[in-house]
Every structure is written in structure tokens, then in C-alpha cells.
Amino acid sequence: MSEDLRRIMAIDDPYLLLSEITTRLADAQHEVTELARLRRRVVQDLHAQGMSYAQIAARAGLSRGRIHQIRHTGPAPEGAFLGRGAVTVATPLRRDGERGRTVVAVDDVRCGKRLEDLARSYGLDVATEHVPVSGGIDLDREGLVVVCGPRMSREMGEAYAQDPVLRWERAEDGPWTVRDRRTGTVYRSGQDSDPARPYDVGYLGRLPRPDGAGSLLAIAGIHTQGSLGVVRLLASDLGTLWEQVGNRRFSTLVGVEYDPDTSEPQAVELLCPLYRHDQETPA
């Protein structure tokens, strides 16, 4: 019996006991989910290295059938790309200048809901919140997925500034762009081009938290359609992204062709490599 369990069982106050048990059960479930995810990942990695299920079973002291079951059931390893155990999806509130009230953009709602559904499909618990109009958000927390660009939040602007390769910049004529400092290419939304076209650019990156104790997953479009395109990419290619960067810090850009009437992505593509930040020298 663990010391934590002994401590809980010694609590006399029934209400405190109920609260402690509920919290511990939630933590334990997160641990079980992540251990199952890690176990499946180990089996997949060993099999990918050329070992048969029978060989893995013999080395691990398990049956071949059990190894085969582990390989094909339980939470998929790539879910860890989004977080471990539980994630918080934060989307921005906006100010309606004409009516002077706080609103939520439809595209931001779609992004948030699709990220929630994606995370839950990988066995993760999901909480949601909004980045307030002031832009203030506590980034020093585990499991944060933030859909918000640098214009709307000083805290997120400072997080994006830690990216050693991709830099958010304002063009001379005003619109936001993203510069690839490795190639010198500047990416601009089709909405801000002449002639305008239904095309946007989205950013996806895992960036350091201000306290240096972890990372957060950042998503932003030059316009909202770019964010929707990033979420489409995550939903369709999360396994590939996980294989390439795992839980390391990285960033990339996504080109998004969208329906001008609905803003729904029609086609998405990577515009640059997945830049691993541990392999880059800050400019």
C-alpha cells in the first residue's frame, strides 16, 4: 500500500475523505491512461525495429497474444502530441468594436470544439477556457493548447518570440505575416494580397513556457481560417507529426485553401519543414 493511500484512508472527515478520493481517482486514471499509451508505444517501436510479436513477448515475459493485443488496443501513442492525461484548450475572446461587447468568433469556436473532440478521441480529459480580450493568460501550466496569435495577447506574443526560426511580423502595409528566418521567405495571407483569394497561413508550434518548466502547444492563423487549417492537419496527420517531433519543441507553417463562404479548409499542406528547435541556433 502506498503512503498516499495510507494518508487518504486515515482521514476522519468524511467530506474531506470524499474529496481526496475523487481527486486521487482522477489522477490514477490519468496515470493508467498514460501508462497504457506508453506501453503500446514501446511495443510499436520494438516491432518497427524488426522484432516479431513472439520475440517481444519472450523478452518481456508475456504471451504473444498479449503483446498483439497491446499493439492494437488502448490509447494511441500519438495522443501524447497534444498532452498527457489532461489538456486545456484555450481560444480567444474578441471585442466587437461596433457594439462594444465581447464576442467569440465562429471559427474560434470550431477550432476549440474540434481540438476537444480530437483530444478526447485519444483518451485525454479536456478542459476549456478563453483568452480574455485583455490577452492575459497564465501559460505556466501543464497541457495547454492555445489558439491565439501574437496580436491578441502579449503573453502569447512573448511565447512566439522564443521561436528561433519562424517570426511573426507586420508588413509595411499593415497586415501580419510570418517570416522563415532560415530561408528568408515571408508568408502572407491571401486575404491581404492583391487580388485577394481564399488562402491563409497557419502556425503550429510547441513553445517554451515562461517559467522554463515545460511547453505549450500554440496554434494561430494570420486569419481564423489558418487556425482551422492547422486543426485539420492535426486531425488527419497527428501520427506523422508525432513520429517526426514527438514531444520536442518545434514549429511549422500550414498553407490553407478554404471555402470563401464557410471558411472550411478545402486543402492543407506544410509550407516548410517541421523545424526542431533543439537543432536550431537562435537568430
Domain boundaries, the chain: 3-75, 81-279
Q: Write the CB contacts of 147 (distance below 8 Å, at least 6 apart in sequence).
A: 89, 90, 91, 92, 108, 111, 112, 115, 219, 220, 227
pTM score of the predicted model: 0.80
Nearest-angstrom CA–CA distance, 63 and 71: 13
Residues in the chain, pLDDT under 50: 282-283
Q: What is the pLDDT of residue 283?
A: 47
pLDDT tens digits for range 122-131: 888 899 999 9
Query: What is the structure's pLDDT at 190?
Result: 94
Q: Which cell is 205 given?
A: 508550434
**Residue-level pLDDT at 281:** 59
Which residue is it, cell 481526496? 20
Which residues touch 216 (CB under 8 Å, ≥6 apart)?
A: 139, 144, 145, 146, 159, 206, 207, 209
